[in-house]
Amino acid sequence: MKNQEQARQSFSKHLTLSEVKDLIIFFSYTDVVPFFEFQEGYLFFVNVTDSLRKPWTFIGTFYANPEIGKYVSIKWTKFSSEKRLKANNEVIFTERPRHEGEAPWKKFKLVIKRKIKLFGQVIWGELKV
């Protein structure tokens, strides 16, 4: 039960080479629809806090393309270059609970994980940069 609840509170993906090069991340509509209200072509903001508790705001756009379906793009140019993201890094957006008096939009904690080799074992470690 906890895993199902946790799954509803977060969305994640492994970055592709083109997402790292273009500094834009793409999500399937079905992965992010529980977290946002979309209108095609309109911008929305994604407020996150990184592992160092630094706040960031990304700009997202929802698209409905008849050939490839519905998807969301999130532009994070400065974040991506500052964190030196690489293809296959995993990014995990976890929804933070809203506190009284805070703005009504959702905020997320953003964790970056990278595959590393440690004593001959391959593990996923959280980047703290």
Sequence spans of domains, the chain? 2-126
Output the pLDDT for position 5. 45
Give CA–CA dist 65/79, Å, rounded. Answer: 27
Q: What is the pLDDT of residue 105?
A: 67
* Largest interatomic CA distance in the chain: 49
Which architecture does CATH list for 2-126? Beta Barrel (2.40)
Asked if residue 2 has pLDDT above 50, the reply is: no
85-111 average pLDDT score: 84
Task: Spell out the residues 6+ positions from residue 17 whose beta carbon is closer than 8 angstroms to its own.
Answer: 87
**Is residue 35 pLDDT above 70, yes or no?**
yes
Q: Which residue has tokens 């490839």?
A: 68
Residue 122's pLDDT band, with cuts at 50, 70 and 90, is: confident
Q: What is the pTM for the complete model shown?
A: 0.82
Q: How many CB atoms lie under 10 A from the CB of residue 114?
A: 16
Which pairing describes strands 10-14 and 55-65: parallel, antiparallel, or unpaired?
Answer: unpaired
Better-predicted residue by pLDDT, 33 or 125: 33
pLDDT in tens, 46-95: 999 999 999 999 999 998 888 888 899 999 999 998 999 999 999 999 99
